[in-house]
Amino acid sequence: MNRIALPGCNPEPLASYLKALAVLRLVAEQRDSEAKGSWEGEVFYLESVLDEEALVWFFLEDYAPTPVVAPWNHGSGFYEGDDTSGLDAISGRDARRFATYREAIKEIRTWSELPAQQRPLGEMLDAVMRAAASSDGKRKDKLQTLVWAVQRELDNAQRLVPGAASLPLAQIKASGAAKQLAALRRSAAKLRTEFKRLNQDKEAILFACRSRLGESALQWVDAAVSIGADNRPKYPQLLASGGNEGRLDYTNAFMRRLAEVLIAANPYRESLLRAALFGQPSAGLSVEATGQFDPGRAGGFNQGPGIENKDFPTQPMGFHPSHRR
| Per-residue model confidence (pLDDT) at position 306 | 57
How far, in Å, CA of 258 to CA of 262, rounded? Answer: 5
- Under DSSP, is residue 28 helix (H, G, I), strand (E, B) or coil? helix
Structural contact between residues 6 and 20, judged by C-beta atoms closer than 8 angstroms: yes
How far, in Å, CA of 175 to CA of 25, rounded? Answer: 49
CA 307 to chain centre: 28
| Per-residue model confidence (pLDDT) at position 97 | 96
CB atoms < 10 A from the CB of 226, how many? 13
Q: Helix, strand, coil: what percent of the chain each, to 5?
A: 50, 10, 40
Q: Give which of 289, 233, 258, 205 is closest to 66, Cα–Cα.
A: 258
| Per-residue model confidence (pLDDT) at position 322 | 38
CB atoms < 10 A from the CB of 124, how many? 23
- Under DSSP, is residue 116 helix (H, G, I), strand (E, B) or coil? coil
| Per-residue model confidence (pLDDT) at position 17 | 94
Q: Is the peptide bond before 115 cis (omega within 30 degrees of 0)?
A: no
Kindly report the CA angle at 36 between 62 and 57, in degrees rounded to 5? 20
How does pLDDT run along the chain (325 residues), one tens digit per residue?
899 999 999 999 999 999 999 999 999 999 999 999 999 988 999 999 999 999 999 999 999 999 999 999 988 998 877 899 999 999 998 999 999 999 999 999 888 788 766 778 888 889 899 989 988 999 999 999 999 999 998 888 877 788 888 877 777 777 666 667 788 888 888 888 888 777 667 888 999 999 999 999 999 999 999 888 888 888 888 888 899 987 789 999 999 999 999 999 999 999 999 999 999 998 888 877 778 888 776 655 555 555 555 555 544 444 343 333 3
How far, in Å, CA of 237 to CA of 163, rounded? Answer: 46
| Per-residue model confidence (pLDDT) at position 177 | 64
Q: Where are the beta strands (DSSP E) in the chain?
A: 2-6, 36-40, 43-48, 226-227, 233-234, 244-245, 248-249
Helical H segments across the chain, by residue range:
14-30, 52-57, 85-91, 99-108, 121-133, 137-157, 169-173, 182-199, 202-212, 215-224, 250-258, 269-278
Inter-CA distances, 183 with 118, 148, 158, 172, 178, Å? 19, 13, 13, 12, 10
Give me the numbers of helices (H) and strands (E) for the chain, helices first please: 12, 7
Count the residues in the chain. Answer: 325
Helical H segments across 81-136, by residue range:
85-91, 99-108, 121-133
Structural contact between residues 58 and 46, judged by C-beta atoms closer than 8 angstroms: no
| Per-residue model confidence (pLDDT) at position 89 | 95
Q: Give which of 127, 186, 176 is closest to 154, Cα–Cα.
A: 186
Structural contact between residues 193 and 202, judged by C-beta atoms closer than 8 angstroms: no
